[in-house]
Homo-oligomer: A and B are copies of this chain.
């Protein structure tokens, strides 16, 4: 995640946290949801490294179920999402007047 307050990078991580806050999902579900929102589906080479970084940062946790791995927010992930939402809101106010 973007720890830096000036960083426009980290939007993918932010979106992943947001999607997982609505419902625990596995990687391909996340890819499909991103595809629906953005117009085309991200590569495995995009999605899995991002999930790995979030996991290593302690913001998401995983549980293996057969072939798939279901990701969910940790308490730290929930807190990080709340902070990121506030910053996002402040950054983009006025976009749709």
A95 at the interface (CB under 8 A from B): yes
Name the one of B6, B9, B22, B95 contacting A18, with C-beta atoms under 8 angstroms.
Answer: B95
Copies in the complex: 2
**Set of chain B residues within 8 Å of A9, measured between Cβ atoms:** 9
A90 at the interface (CB under 8 A from B): yes
A53 at the interface (CB under 8 A from B): no
Query: Which residue of B has the minimal Cβ distance to A13?
Result: B8
Decide: A40 and B5 in contact? CB cutoff 8 A. Answer: yes
Q: Mark contacts of A55-85 with chain B using CB atoms, 8 A cut-off: 1 yes-contact digit, 0 otherwise.
A: 0000000000000000000000000000001
5 interchain pairs (CB within 8 A)? A6-B40, A15-B92, A37-B93, A38-B87, A38-B90
